[in-house]
Amino acid sequence: MVAPPAPPPAPMPPPPPPWSQDECFGTREREPSFPGALSFAFFLIIVGVVFLANPNIFTNFQAWGENMVNVKYIPRPPEALIWSGVLFFAAAGVSDFVTAALRYSMKGRRRKVLGDVFTGIALIVFAWLTSLYANRAVSGPVTIAMELMIVGILIIVFFLLMARSWSVPRPT
């Protein structure tokens, strides 16, 4: 007896359409570039102010670097360099608050406004911690450890606040 012919194989389903960038990453809403450009302008002004406050900043960095090479560890930076850092971080933090206010007034996206506010908080706190370091109230490692913890907490709070506005599409 002859076996019946095998049924033809089931047709392969067509491949899924290629993913578009919009499907993977969402559509990019165009935001006016004015807040970003203003933020960059603030950065340039802040750097200029820091250089005016400490015209020997490059010499300070060079002396500190040479000292590191000679002593084989990271020594305390020159006082003028530490206070230049305090000025830079404080001014950058304030500029982030100004940028956040500008974004908010322009009906900016909540995520960017909140990100600017949290960045401003982190920078102001870092300026404060650096001033404590300059006054020898805390050590360098304690300053860095405290800033890392604060930034970690700010990131967690940011994600918790933003979790409500993010929705992940579910496969159908």
Task: Give DSSP secondary structure letters for the chain.
Answer: -PPPPPPPPPPPPPPPPPPPHHHHH-PPPP--SHHHHHHHHHHHHHHHHHHHH-TTHHHHHHHHHHHHHHHSS-PPPPHHHHHHHHHHHHHHHHHHHHHHHHHHHTT--HHHHHHHHHHHHHHHHHHHHHHHHHTTSS-HHHHHHHHHHHHHHHHHHHHHHHTTT--PPPP-
pLDDT at 151: 93
In a domain, 11, yes or no: no
Dist CA 96 CA 92 (whole Å): 6
Residue 26 resides in a domain: no
Which one, of 48, 134, 32, 139, lies nearest residue 91 by Cα? 48
Tally of structural domains, the chain: 1
Residue-level pLDDT at 132 = 96
108: domain range? 33-69+76-162
Distance CA 88, CA 28 (A): 32
Report if residue 23 sits inside a domain: no
Task: Name the nearest CA neighbour of 32 among 97, 87, 105.
Answer: 105
Residue 46: the pLDDT is: 94
pLDDT at 44: 93
Residue spans of the chain under pLDDT 70: 1, 16-33, 108-109, 165-172
115, part of any domain: yes
In this structure, is residue 172 part of a structural domain?
no
Residue 142 lies in a domain: yes
Q: Is 6 part of any domain?
A: no
pLDDT at 30: 60
- The total of other beta-carbon atoms located within 10 Å of residue 34's CB is 11
In a domain, 113, yes or no: yes
